[in-house]
């Protein structure tokens, strides 16, 4: 296992939706994380109509000191901006009661009992809780934080996320894939697409560790310069786009993103699948 230096936060964040100072450690570690855009041969560039069915429960929000997939990312970075778009529309069909199949687009979306993170450093436990809810599990973020060793410095590693997921499920179903380079290769983006489809088809959501800024299919930017954890619980266009549950801001709790953009967003980090 590769060992990475742990960075501690240099400041405490202000309430969510307010801009906060970016730490030098987070910026140094994630420099170049959003590499030049990759393109899959079958990537859908258009933004088709939303087909989500997430159950959104608005709870208390807060800033988070986002950990990254390989170290503690000391961040109180800019929150994702947006207008809350990313809701759902009826018209798709259920498969086994856990999610919906988007037959026309070659996709599937799992139901999520969404919960926003309660403080500035619980993005790891919150993303994991949201992911587990797609599999019908109910567990508190406090219990997950204890299991992951989450502190005010964040959640140390994506491997801690994977370990917690497997412990709750009682099986070694989840694995960690690291994207250690700031330049994500096309084959890594293609592998992510395959992993997304395989995991969601198995009625499990992924947990991704991102850093920097990315833009969703509605043109809304989401910025977490020091790192952040999100849940991925749906795909469409045969895996070319993914549905994200983001615990940082309940006003922009759900959105779609091109899979290659998500891969670039995870550069130097990784994901549990």
Domains along the chain with CATH numbers: 24-34+50-272 (3.90.70.10)
Q: How far apart are CA 58 and CA 36, in angstroms?
A: 35
pLDDT digits (tens, 9 = 90+) for 137-151: 999 999 999 999 999
pTM reported for the whole predicted model: 0.68
Report pLDDT digits (tens) over 45-88: 222 333 333 333 322 333 334 444 444 433 333 333 333 333 33
Q: How far apart are CA 239 and CA 257, in angstroms?
A: 11
For the stretch 95-138, pLDDT in tens is 344 455 544 468 999 999 999 999 999 999 999 999 999 999 99
Tokens for 66?
A: 């986002």
| pLDDT number for residue 105 | 61
Q: Other CB atoms closer than 10 Å to residue 257's CB: what's the count?
A: 25
166: left (phi over 0), alpha (psi -120 to 50) or beta: alpha
How are beta strands 55-56 and 113-114 bridged, if at all? parallel
CB 273 within 8 A of CB 161: no
What is the C-alpha to C-alpha distance for residues 40 and 7, in angstroms, rounded to an integer?
34
pLDDT digit string, tens, across residues 157-181: 899 999 999 999 999 999 999 999 9
């Amino acid at each position: 296992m590769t060992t990475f230096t742990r960075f501690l936060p240099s400041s405490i964040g202000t309430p969510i939706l307010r801009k906060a100072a970016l730490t030098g450690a987070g910026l140094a570690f994630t420099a170049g994380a959003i590499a030049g855009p990759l393109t899959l041969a079958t990537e859908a560039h258009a933004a088709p109509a939303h087909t989500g069915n997430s159950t959104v429960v608005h709870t208390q929000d807060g800033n988070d000191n986002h950990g990254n997939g390989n170290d503690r990312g000391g961040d109180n970075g800019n929150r994702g901006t947006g207008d809350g778009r990313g809701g759902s529309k009826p018209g798709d069909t259920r498969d086994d009661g856990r999610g919906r199949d988007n037959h026309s687009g070659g996709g599937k979306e799992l139901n999520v009992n969404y919960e926003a993170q309660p403080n500035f450093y619980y993005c790891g436990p919150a993303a994991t809780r949201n992911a587990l809810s797609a599999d019908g599990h109910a567990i508190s973020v406090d219990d997950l934080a204890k299991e992951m060793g989450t502190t005010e410095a964040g959640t140390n590693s994506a491997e801690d996320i994977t370990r917690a997921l497997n412990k709750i499920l009682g099986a070694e179903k989840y694995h960690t894939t690291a994207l250690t380079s700031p330049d994500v290769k096309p084959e890594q983006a293609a592998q992510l697409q395959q992993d997304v489809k395989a995991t969601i088809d198995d009625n499990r959501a992924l947990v991704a560790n991102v850093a920097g800024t990315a833009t969703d299919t509605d043109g809304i930017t989401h910025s977490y310069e020091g790192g952040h954890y999100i849940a991925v619980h749906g795909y469409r266009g045969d895996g070319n786009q993914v549905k994200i549950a983001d615990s940082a801001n309940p006003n922009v709790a759900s959105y779609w993103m091109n899979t290659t953009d998500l891969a670039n967003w995870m550069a130097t980090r990784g994901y549990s699948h």
